Amino acid sequence: MTESSNDKVLIEEIEQLEEVYETDYEVGQDNVTWLGLDLHNPVFVISAVLMLAFVLISLLFP
């Protein structure tokens, strides 16, 4: 499959932008490993608490 000229131009522009915006951030640097799972700490905790609260409220007040 060949790429069109527009796709090549877009890829080149993205590569140029990636060179400009270099940071010290590493993907997954804030993750924690628990039971062999790689979890993003704040997101996992908030979503787990909200799901448990929803299930408990649904069971208590059917």
Q: Residue 3 has what pLDDT?
A: 62
pTM over 0.85: no
Confidence of residue 2 (pLDDT cuts 50, 70, 90): low
Between CA 11 and CA 61 the distance in angstroms is 53
Report pLDDT digits (tens) over 7-60: 888 888 888 887 777 788 888 788 888 888 888 888 888 999 999 999 999 999
Catalogue the E-assigned strands of 1-62.
Answer: 31-34, 37-40
Q: Residue 24 has what pLDDT?
A: 84
Residue 16: strand pairing partners? none
Between CA 8 and CA 36 the distance in angstroms is 39
